[in-house]
Structure 1
Amino acid sequence: MAAIEPGSDLERYIGSVIRELRARQGLTIADVAKLTGISKGMLSKIENAQTAMSLDTLSRLSKALGVSLSALFRNYDVPEGSAQLVKKGEGMEVVRRGTRRGHTYHLLAYDQGPEKRFEPFLISMDDAAEVFPTFQHPGTEFIYMLEGIIEYRHGNYTYRLEPGDALTFRGDVPHGPESLLQLPILFLSMIVYGEHD
């Protein structure tokens, strides 16, 4: 029967998971020994990665601890990951064409690759007298309204956007704010660029 070799990374990982589950449930090694029919000495060796385990042993342990067999392996060999966190108010303020007093763009993620794949912005506007240029860019843009009411133009159409509304459109068609109907205005804008050739 297949066994996990003693002293391996997997053996150490499984041993620590079993010890943690047992402790979380307030069970002693003697309690688990009684539930599984595995000796206390063997259980101690399993928790300390000092002995090989069969799949049958693992199955008995998982049942005694009230978890599925797969749950024992859930976090094993998971890629470390690398996320980018931008805390509230810490998005980099950027100047975009048409940015003026009362109209700010905060970039919420900084693309770290050689090619820009997306740009998420938090955009705020609080000057109703402002006149906006039209924008055109590659990719698809998604807008999600958070606060205020705006009339937004895309090509020949205008859309009234209120909190909770979303608008998605091609970026290469002229677009931009037409009228600021209720201030202040706050919305998320995500530009997703297509595959590069």
Structure 2
Amino acid sequence: MAPDNHTREIAARLKGLRDALDISIEDLAARTGYGVDEARSYEEGETDIPVSYLFEVAKTCNVDLTALLTGDEAHLKSYSLVRAGQGLSVERRKAYHYKSLAYRFFRNSMEPFIVTVPYADDAERSFNSHPGEEFIYMLEGKLEIVLDDDVLIMEPHDCLYFDSKTPHALRALDGKDAMFLDVII
């Protein structure tokens, strides 16, 4: 599948930021814990760019994640209220739908999202891993999460905290979408 315009715009912001800070792709990859080939592919806009990578780049380069996602800086410093259903839609993984809940907060130290995993009876597992830690709190539906070789089933009000470097894959079960709060640190 060809990259969408949003992915290409983010890719251009990634490369522009790195150029402006005069950081080599090798140095940025080392600082973020990603491989050079991965970082290069994200800057070329030819592959999905995981939110976790954008979060690491934002921390490493001391910029807001919102700036990388939208091209605009966040401005709120004491609090940010996001009304129900009003988070910033982030198209990062084709299989999941993300809504950023702290996109207006300046220099936040964690990234909370509402994530919806659409049910698909033929859903393939797509593994992801990234630096950091992750917290999932189930809101709706039933979710299968695979961590390495462990298969966990989560239902509403279940919680999971894990090292995001552990390869993980998600899929909704029982014919319904699964929705959860996801906090990445």
User: Which TM-score band (shorter chain)?
Assistant: 0.5 to 0.7
Match for residue 134 of structure 1? 127
Match for residue 165 of structure 2? 172
Q: Which residue type is aligned with residue 112 of structure 1?
A: F
Seq. identity, %? 36
More strand by share: 1
* Equivalenced residues, count: 107
Task: Give the whole-Å Cα distance in 1 for the aligned partners of 2:184 and 2:84.
Answer: 20
Match for residue 184 of structure 2? 191
Secondary structure of 1:173's counterpart equals coil
- Please identify runs of 4+ aligned residues in structure 1 that moved more than 3 A: none
Secondary structure of 2:106's counterpart equals coil
Q: Which residue type is aligned with residue 106 of structure 2?
A: Q
**C-alpha deviations, 1:132-181, integer Å up to 9, x for none?**
42111111100011111111011111111011100110001101215523
Match for residue 112 of structure 1? 106
Gaps of 5+ in 1: 1-80, 193-197
Contact in 1 for aligned 2:117/2:170 (Cα 8 Å): no
Q: Which residue type is aligned with residue 118 of structure 1?
A: M
Match for residue 61 of structure 1? none
Task: Give the whole-Å Cα distance in 2 for the aligned partners of 1:91 and 1:186.
Answer: 14
Structure 1 residues 1-197: aligned runs within 5 Å: 82-97=78-93, 99-100=94-95, 103-110=96-103, 111-113=105-107, 117-128=109-120, 129-178=122-171, 180-192=173-185
Task: Give the whole-Å Cα distance in 1 for the aligned partners of 2:138 and 2:172.
Answer: 14
TM-score, with structure 1 as normaliser = 0.50
Match for residue 43 of structure 2? none
Secondary structure of 2:129's counterpart equals coil
Which structure has the greater CA radius of gyration?
1
1:112, distance to aligned residue in structure 2 (A):
2.0
Task: Give the whole-Å Cα distance in 2 for the aligned partners of 1:179 and 1:93.
Answer: 20
Task: Give the whole-Å Cα distance in 2 for the aligned partners of 1:119 and 1:156.
Answer: 26
Task: Give the whole-Å Cα distance in 2 for the aligned partners of 1:83 and 1:91.
Answer: 15
Contact in 2 for aligned 1:151/1:181 (Cα 8 Å): no
- RMSD (CA atoms): 1.9
TM-score, with structure 2 as normaliser = 0.53
Q: Which residue type is aligned with residue 183 of structure 1?
A: K
**C-alpha deviations, 1:31-78, integer Å up to 9, x for none?**
xxxxxxxxxxxxxxxxxxxxxxxxxxxxxxxxxxxxxxxxxxxxxxxx
Gaps of 5+ in 2: 1-76
Task: Give the whole-Å Cα distance in 1 for the aligned partners of 2:182 and 2:92.
Answer: 13
